[in-house]
Structure 1
């Protein structure tokens, strides 16, 4: 009697057949590229811990935006590194702050590009925390007022989307109220709803000069061991007016991405963070892995897990590879 078993390999025989039955597709439109803008002129300085990622002064930003647009990438997220910092991060909400000027410049150069403004205080405060500090304690409610001011100033500069990353309780409600009061009812909020206190952020803090000067951020960012807490955070942000939800980091939190996608109807963003980027780059530079294959597998995995959009420092590389 002949053996009876399933022939799964029939659908894997050729590249064409595999493409026909492929379930998950990564597109250039899915990618958001982060930018680090700095004061000064003539600056295109590679971040030491992030090969291929640069600090850019506004005069060098123009060529970067042309390159990004030429690759078909439709959205960028702007982070600022100011020359001056103070206790309340006043450069975050200054009309002439580095991010505000960068937003205006990008929108003038490429009106069609979606400009997402990271809304936080850590890059702008002298203590490196994401809010107002008193006696080495990050104060929640006083921080909300400054975060709302920052969001409004970014919207006034022309930001298409506000992306608050501070993890203060009530931050979406405060920012939504501030935007609405200022006449920006149609500016959406991409909430860093589920942001873990992760060790994968190290290279970013190098790039953004945002390492805390005392303690850590575990009193406001989430414990990496927690899953159900992610549901509570996402549900709160939706009630407060979030238009997108984000999970950050991505690679070690694929289960959370899938959980949130299954549970909530909003567009879901995965942030493929700096540490995830740098470790792949380091391994590739040492010849230990094939960078293109690993990156495309990783980004596809994030899409398969449920991400609709991916913020990634690999966006330009991935766009090149997909074009090829």
Structure 2
């Protein structure tokens, strides 16, 4: 095979290595992966059930949180079972179509989560800056339209990537040193010119996640401006407290991602397994910790969960 011209080879099957350089430790690495996935499924499923089943939680803030939990479940399910199959059964074989499908759902769900976090920041802005008009502005109809727009934006921007990848001839290698498929990482195995893929991926990042971060920042600047003009200290504390959970989730979602991008760009001497582990943290940490953060910091959710898990005996 090595004597053949690269252009005469077109791979349709690939092999995911898992964590490169740490293959002997895969069984141990699988333990935190499994615990994180089980926690994410249990926590987010419970959160979705509590919000949907309790009328007192049918408010914009909690409905957006329900959307975030649903996206968390999809994001974790797109990646962790595949990683566990590699760790436990060395089942790293994946077809090109399945690889493209996986990266489509990973990227689109990531953009969906970013959009939901932006909308949650907008929700806090309306609640604090225009409290008397809160229910008039964020009606059920508007919430439904916002949710539909978020998911149409995420799937619409990632959908062209399917065709950008399908046009390529993958002839350099079929060994992917990762636990999951990713757009540019896969495109680099093609012998074709991938500048269109690179520029389109960059434009998607700028027009979605980067724009969301900027708008979230603006929202919180306006929130802080309003809060610090409230005369009552207790009212200021209460207003800021309602934003605490959301701020924690924002830092948890964007923080590891920014750090991962910086290490990819400037950490050329960092071992490959460190890059892969950071990418896994970006996907695993938010779904696992989001329901815990909201469960601990939000009294209404905490009370409803307690009633479900420990019903009072009559």
TM score, norm. by length of structure 2: 0.24
Indicate the structure with greater helix content.
2
Rg larger in 1 or in 2?
Answer: 2
Where relative contact order (Cα < 8 A, 6+ residues apart) is larger, the structure is 2
TM score, norm. by length of structure 1: 0.24
